[in-house]
Amino acid sequence: MAGGRQDSSHMELIRPEQSVIGSMLIDPQVVGLVVDALGEGDFVLETDRRLFAAFRALYLAGGAVDLITVLDRAGREDKALQSYAMQLMDLTPTAAHIEEYIAMTRRGAQLLRLRELGAQLSVLEEPEEALPLLRQGTELLSQQGRDDEADMERSLLDFYGDLQRTPSYLPWGLEPLDQGLTVEGGDFVVLAGRPSDGKTALALRMAVRQAADRRVGFFSLETGRKRLFSRLMVSQSGVPGGALKRRMISDMEYTLLAGAAEELRKAQLTIVEATGWTVEQIEARAMARRLEVVYIDYLQLIRPSDRRRSGRVDEVSDISRALANMARHHGITVVAISQLSRPEKGARREPILADLRESGQIEQDADLVMFVWRKSEQESQGERTLTVAKNKEGPLGRWSLTFDGSLQRFRVAEPKTMGEYAALGREVKARNRRQSGLMGQMGLRELHGSDPDNPFTAKEGRDGTDRQAAAAADQRGAAPPGAGPADGGTGSEPGP
């Protein structure tokens, strides 16, 4: 009985695809619509796949498409195929419902694939083997009902409709980023830095701010969840980390911890220990928790799904592409922390996109790339610089931050005294001089009496006359020394 129901259900799923083939046989005008909407993988029966492939090849080649040419292409000597095609023409009364047949065919193909995945899941021996199958199932479901096409009329309607809605961009907890960035669901963001530059501390601050009104997951592949939460409490409460570690906490600090605990309880933030996880595992957990923002600390520690890749660069490239696809397929924001390549000793400088470690693919995949960095490795605290080095949807920028390591806190630095403004001015001037090689700079030096550039030193004109003496004589109305007769003069000295 069960087998009979299974056969009946199977036939119900393949009848729509037979109607699609039959519609193309009786009305070649619908072939283009079918070829655009379906692929060979959407057909369950091998015979239907062969006929569809023949239709598509003829249509794309611009040849005649009818029963004779299709059968000739699919199998000229195959009598069974010819008989089957004739039956489909008899079973399909009209091609007027082709769009419904296409939708039903796509849905039937998805159901059958999900059932096949379920059958494979039922015979697994290790739980880890289920992850690739679960990801295939997730991708199948995400493709259902996808709206991937619009003409100009539809695009204009969507555009003006979007203008009526107030956008909700991701907040970051730092004013320059909140004002300048327009990150939303579907974006892939990279926050990169060198070791001990403060990447994790800054990412935790951002995650807590976003968790005020979004479901945020922080996947740590390096640090345990208890240690990360301790850092959160330090940052949120203002109680120094050293005091917590040594358990030297005053009554006032206990009060501060209690206040921070109340604030963090409201945050929709989940910390996940993800050591050794693959992108598929992170994606499955993110979907199960319905996360809207996913942080990953850090990208280079994700275990590659395919161990057969030829090298580390290929592995990291695959991981980067998978994270970008995860963001776009599910409409979530993925923020991946990334390591930067170490500079040569003694040559620490501002990072550039090419410094993203182990793969240039990260730069290509990311919608936004931010760097947090310090000028000297000896400065564990103090000044940091936050750079937006790539932004597909807005401007770039650079801001100075102050970092208090004992409290795990960042803030935007602002000069508060004239001395600080003067120091900044000197630094900028020195940097500009170095960059310009002193070109266009004005120099000052002392001029001596015999210096040819001294305007107060007597100089000779091209004719050997003293210019200053000539000017004085001109004012007196006399000829300059050494000058001959002019304007009919005699050349004698003027009378008194």
pLDDT digits (tens, 9 = 90+) for 214-248: 999 999 998 888 899 989 988 888 888 888 888 88
Q: Write the burial class of residue 67 (CB in 10 Å: 0-12 exposed, 13-18 middle, 19+ buried).
A: middle
Q: Which residue has the tokens 């069974």?
A: 80
pLDDT at position 145 = 52
pLDDT at position 270 = 92
- Report how far residue 313's alpha carbon sits from residue 194's, in angstroms, rounded to the nearest whole number: 19
- Report how far residue 325's alpha carbon sits from residue 283's, in angstroms, rounded to the nearest whole number: 10
Q: How many helices (H) and strands (E) does the chain have?
A: 18, 9
- Give the sign of the dihedral formed by CA 432, CA 438, CA 439, CA 440: positive
Distances 140 to 134, 137, 280 between C-alpha atoms, Å: 10, 5, 15
pLDDT at position 380 = 63
Strand 216-220, strand 293-297: pairing: parallel
Q: Which residues of the chain have pLDDT under 50?
A: 1-6, 416, 438-441, 458-473, 475-496
Distances 75 to 19, 21, 44, 51, 396 between C-alpha atoms, Å: 20, 15, 19, 9, 60
Distances 347 to 351, 352, 357 between C-alpha atoms, Å: 11, 14, 17
pLDDT at position 242 = 85
pLDDT at position 336 = 95
pLDDT at position 483 = 45
pLDDT at position 433 = 63
Q: Is 464 left (phi over 0), alpha (psi -120 to 50) or beta?
A: left
